[in-house]
Amino acid sequence: MITRLMSDSVSGAVEPHAQLVAAYVTGFTGSQVAFRTHPNIPHVTIVQNNTPARAHVIDVESGAATPAYAARWAHYMRLTRQNLYPTVYVQESNKQAVVSAFEAIREPLPLFWVAAWDGSPENYLTTSTLPRPGDVVAHQYADPQTSGGNYDLSAVVRYWSGVDAMPYRPPGVKPTHDQWVWLRFIYIPDHYAPALRGNAWKVLTSHPAQAEALVDRYGPADIR
């Protein structure tokens, strides 16, 4: 699997070989130094608490956002088209609580950035070419005590929806049925009212031709 190295810290320190850098847009404002010192690599923004600020990621952990709020934040981001690919940062041990919170309001699952400091970068990461709801796109595998510096380290998949330019599709690769369904939800979020999304998901997953036709009609030309 091709992965990339991402660095994040509350102080703004960055691993010298990082290919992405993450920092907070709410809370820990010192972390934003990393964006100024590394302007030419992809920036990943994080909401640290229960606030509707625009970002790529919401941080779910003790003292930060709750799983229930993360689900509402993701819904708001999608509804307002501020972030069509919301990601939740969460400890692997608490990931199911986030899944349950999304299911409780019938919101399609987010992408996940999981923290499990096991020293094995590629653990947990999805192998899908185009990440699907519930897939893990980043794995934080080292904390400041084990990274060798004042920063956390994460392995990131080749294509992170919402962070990387959309879409990444190698020649000859056709999205799977499940990926077509995910793309339909992303590109036509207003096709169904929020209250009908749960049923819409069932309908489209049982009718792949319908899902593909919708993406063919409404999706960007370079994913058709």
pLDDT one-digit tens code per residue, 26-40: 988 889 999 999 999
Asked whether the bond before 167 is cis by omega within 30 degrees of 0, the reply is yes
Whole-number Å distance between alpha carbons of 120 and 88: 20
Q: Say if residues 31 and 11 touch (Cβ distance below 8 Å).
A: yes
Q: Please check whether residue 172 lies inside any domain of the structure.
A: no
Q: Please check whether residue 166 lies inside any domain of the structure.
A: no
Q: Residue 60 is inside which H or E element, if any? A: strand 57-60
Residues 48 and 106 both lie in one domain: yes
Quote the domain boundaries for residue 201: 177-223
Q: Please check whether residue 168 lies inside any domain of the structure.
A: no
- Please state the pTM of the whole predicted model: 0.78
Read off the pLDDT of residues 59-117 as tens digits, 9 standing for 90 and up: 999 999 999 999 999 999 988 888 888 999 999 999 999 999 999 998 888 999 999 99
Whole-number Å distance between alpha carbons of 71 and 49: 13
Q: Averaged over 156-161, what is the pLDDT?
A: 88
- Report the percent of the chain where pLDDT is more than 70: 72
